[in-house]
Amino acid sequence: MTIALPPGVTVFERGWLSANNILFQGPEGNALIDSGYATHADQTVALVRAALGSQPLTHLLNTHLHSDHCGGNAALQAAYPALQTLIPPGQAHAVRAWDDDHLTYVLTGQTCPRFRIEGVLLPDTTLTLANLTWQVHAAPGHDPHSVVLFQPDHRLLISADALWENGFGVVFPELEGEDAFHEVGATLDLIEGLAPLTVIPGHGRVFTDVAGALARARTRLEQFTTSPDKHLRHAAKVLIKFKLLEWQRLPLSDFEAWARGTPYLVNLQQRMGQASFDDWLLPMVDELVKSGAAQREDGWLVNA
């Protein structure tokens, strides 16, 4: 089923390695929300160019700065030199100084080329996109600095990773020992209060069963809150699967070397009480293989 969106709003639904991109065309200019992962940057630029033709992309907005949402920023800035890039305010200093650790790209073992910013997306303000007024709301939980955008006339929500059709993104502050499940819950309450009719998520298709999505997200949150180790195990497999999506196939020895050099995975192993990294890592791989998300082939680990 095709869901109608307001004139001037186009969604590029991407694979799970890249976040969805939302393109806005209006008298105030052309803007894109989120730019996907670095390895898909050429495809992101091609999608935008195909949609805009000779028109320029004037603004790039990031809901948050995980690598799958901003990895194409640098490529878009190169393609459109006058592009104005805006991010949530909490990490503006880290971007200007390009602090890889603070931005988590080193911690996750992921890639994000350096990009510049011209300003910030302040929560509790509004902006105009596709000739419509959008509210900017803080949406901590998955990422402490994330924002969502809401268009009240059409009751259209751009939810980033705060709400998907079936869940929400890994709660990254929890991987560092910070209590953030309550922030996930508060953001779900915020979304329910906005009462959107349609949601454009950070990953997956546009959907309209918002009540069902919220119910599924709250069930998942209760499971994680009741059993935090379940969330840690889920996060580890997400990080591994993400890298498999990027590499597709690599020698198992290279994968193990990457995993040992990825601080979040080492921290997860320690937090889950496993004395040996190998004894912790290989069962995670086995679970991915058993679920059909990966395969082993003669010493290689292969995405499936």
195/245 same-domain check: no
Q: Cα separation of 174 and 182, whole Å? A: 11
The DSSP secondary structure of the chain, one letter per residue, reads -PPP--TTEEEE---TTS--EEEEEETTEEEEE----GGGHHHHHHHHHHHHTTSPP-EEE-S---HHHHTTHHHHHHHSTT-EEEE-GGGHHHHHHT-TTTTTHHHHT--------SEE--TT-EEEETTEEEEEEE--SSSTT-EEEEETTTTEEEEETS-BTTB----HHHHTT---HHHHHHHHHHHHHH--SEEEESSS--B--HHHHHHHHHHHHHHHHH-HHHHHHHHHHHHHHHHHHHHSEEEHHHHHHHHHT-HHHHHHHHHTT-S-HHHHHHHHHHHHHHHTSEEEETTEEEE-
Residue 2 lies in a domain: no
Q: Cα separation of 295 and 289, whole Å? A: 5
Domain of residue 242 covers: 228-303
Residue 82 lies in a domain: yes
Tokens of 93: 């200093």
* Domain boundary, last residue among 226, 252, 279: 226
Domain count, the chain: 2
pLDDT in tens, 59-69: 999 999 999 99
144/283 same-domain check: no
pLDDT confidence bin for 2, thresholds 50/70/90: confident
62/149 same-domain check: yes
200/84 same-domain check: yes
82/103 same-domain check: yes
Residue 202 lies in a domain: yes
In CATH, what number is assigned to the domain containing residue 218? 3.60.15.10
Q: Cα separation of 93 and 99, whole Å? A: 9
Residue 112 lies in a domain: yes
In CATH, what number is assigned to the domain containing residue 250? 1.10.10
Residue 4 lies in a domain: no
pLDDT confidence bin for 149, thresholds 50/70/90: very high
**How many other CB atoms sit within 10 Å of the CB of residue 240?**
24
Residue 114 lies in a domain: yes
Q: What percent of the chain has pLDDT over 70?
A: 100
Q: What's the pTM value of the predicted model, to 2 decimals?
A: 0.96
pLDDT confidence bin for 189, thresholds 50/70/90: very high
pLDDT at position 275 over 90: no
207/292 same-domain check: no
Predicted pLDDT of residue 274: 80
Residue 40 lies in a domain: yes
20/167 same-domain check: yes
Q: Cα separation of 229 and 232, whole Å? A: 5
* Domain boundary, last residue among 226, 260, 295: 226
43/123 same-domain check: yes
Q: Give the pLDDT mean for 141-164.
A: 98
131/164 same-domain check: yes
129/70 same-domain check: yes
Query: Letter for the amino acid at 71?
Result: G
pLDDT at position 1 over 80: no
84/37 same-domain check: yes
Predicted pLDDT of residue 129: 98
Predicted pLDDT of residue 59: 98
Q: Cα separation of 4 and 8, whole Å? A: 11
Residue 1 lies in a domain: no
82/154 same-domain check: yes
Q: Cα separation of 179 and 123, whole Å? A: 22
pLDDT in tens, 30-61: 999 999 999 999 999 999 999 999 999 999 99
* Domain boundary, last residue among 175, 194, 226: 226
Q: Give the pLDDT mean for 85-96.
A: 97
